[in-house]
Structure 1
Amino acid sequence: MTDLIIWTILASLLGIIFGSFINVVVFRTKEGQSLGGRSKCRTCLEPIGGMDLIPIVSYFALKGRCRRCSSVIEWQYPAVEMATGILFGLLFARAWLGIGWPNFIDQTEWVALFVRDASIAIFLVIIFVYDFRYSYILDKYSIPAILLALVFNVALGANALSLLLGGLLIGGFFAIQFLVSEGKWIGGGDIRMGLLMGFLLGPALGGVALFVSYVLGALTGIFLILTKQRELNSHVPFGTFLALGTVIAMIWGSGLLNWYLGYF
């Protein structure tokens, strides 16, 4: 148990580091900047010193303000870093303990399972944050995630036909909505998210991810309407819920599915 705690903490620290990188990806992608080069304050454009780039710690040490111009540092920075750290910790513990294993993966391959999940999680967090901020799912991140999911799963022994079925069912579900509504209900990015969910999780857990996404989206929409933050016909970025639903299904999907099937 001690080893599990230590390694989970290390996995969380790795996630925090990747969370910091995800923030860079989101902002620089939107601004059309290269991912290389030194980090700069988004207000005064002055380079940020190394001691001010420590994830989470620097934000609170600086009291949420730039050292040079005192402009407010967005809360997104520590929030994404902490969330990604927690996510990596959960994914590692899940792989170590063998909770909700895909049936095609041998338990001796738990490291490979964590690498798969962590790699996909990075893309899912990028998609979540970008869609949350800008209401757009970028192909440059969803398509590589789709390919990565397929490659990992096939390499680990997944049934390729089952993966294709999952992708076609969930991706097709969104494609039908897109065609019927002529793109008014959902966008093309949602179709590609459906493909990702199916290719990553298969038809059963992909269905769980889809169900969870819609429940979270509906509850959030109702809350926003009741609190008058949105109107009934207002747009809510659904990619955020699809990404979140996929993450939940990755970790707890098998348990949720077994709980549901236990009623029959």
Structure 2
Amino acid sequence: MQGTEYLFIFFLGLCVGSFVNVLVFRFGFAERPQKRSRCMACDTEIAWYDLLPVISFFALGGRCRHCGSGLSIQYPLVELSTATLFTLAFALLPPALSFFSLLAFLSLCVFLAAFVGLVAYDMRHTLVPMPFLWWLIASASVASISQSIATASLSPLLESGLGAVALFCFFMLIVAVTRGRGMGAGDAYVGAAIGILLGFTRGIEAVMVGVWTGAVVGLLMLFAYSIFP
């Protein structure tokens, strides 16, 4: 049964990742997210069987069925990233579930989906949209509060508050020193959200690890975009 549960969570992550892709491509532009998907090259409406997460991209060879134009590698990358993160989050659930531990898991999934969407949006549009940031902060706060209630301890809340303030100030200091050339104020809000979710110690560790892994992932993404623009 547990294997089936993992498959379900992975499939759910693929579907959520597909919706995240829609937001990344359409948010802030004229086309509404609820409209049917169309090829950005020939404007042909895409059939449902060409919208299956990951499968359709590779079945079509990364190209539009109608005009043959290349599809962005972002589609499967975002879907697989979201599905993998959802599955890892599910693996962290305690054997004995409570309402608040389940709420913390769902909040973590929202956080992860928003984080993947924010990274993809920033890479594609070089912008950090505030609604994505508010989702990050809100979901991280709910997860922290749920964890505090589930463990009957104030430690998670204190750690979250300290982590949020420390990381926000750290990133804002970088913004001030570089005068916005190294990163923008939006990155400080991302740091605050990470601090809320992970606390002070783990938040600092995550930022340090993220600097190096981000560089590696960024290089891989740039290489992938050079093959599938």
When the two structures are superposed, what TM-score results if normalisation uses the length of structure 1? Answer: 0.73
Aligned pair partner of 2:103 in 79, 95, 112: 112
C-alpha spacing 1:30/1:64, structure 2 compared with 1 (3 Å):
farther
Identical amino acids, percent of aligned pairs: 32
Structure 2 distance, partners of 1:197, 1:13, is 26
Task: Name the SS of the counterpart of 1:137 in structure 2.
Answer: coil
- Are 2:136 and 2:190, in contact at CA under 8 Å, matched by a contact in 1? no
5 Å-filtered alignment, 1:1-264, equals 3-29=1-27, 31-96=29-94, 108=98, 109-157=100-148, 159-217=156-214
Gaps of 5+ in 1: 98-105, 230-264
Structure 2 distance, partners of 1:130, 1:40, is 19
- Are 2:194 and 2:203, in contact at CA under 8 Å, matched by a contact in 1? yes
C-alpha spacing 1:129/1:9, structure 2 compared with 1 (3 Å):
same
Structure 1 distance, partners of 2:158, 2:80, is 37
Structure 2 distance, partners of 1:126, 1:34, is 16
Structure 1 distance, partners of 2:40, 2:75, is 12
Corresponding residue of 1:234: none
TM-fit CA distance, 1:33: 2.4
C-alpha spacing 1:85/1:128, structure 2 compared with 1 (3 Å):
same
Q: Please, what is the CA RMSD of the aligned residues?
A: 2.4
When the two structures are superposed, what TM-score results if normalisation uses the length of structure 2? Answer: 0.84
- Are 2:101 and 2:146, in contact at CA under 8 Å, matched by a contact in 1? no
Structure 1 distance, partners of 2:124, 2:60, is 24
C-alpha spacing 1:27/1:218, structure 2 compared with 1 (3 Å):
closer
Gaps of 5+ in 2: 149-153, 224-229
Structure 2 distance, partners of 1:218, 1:130, is 17
Structure 1 distance, partners of 2:29, 2:113, is 20
C-alpha spacing 1:6/1:217, structure 2 compared with 1 (3 Å):
closer
Corresponding residue of 2:227: none
User: How many residues matched?
Assistant: 214
C-alpha spacing 1:111/1:151, structure 2 compared with 1 (3 Å):
closer
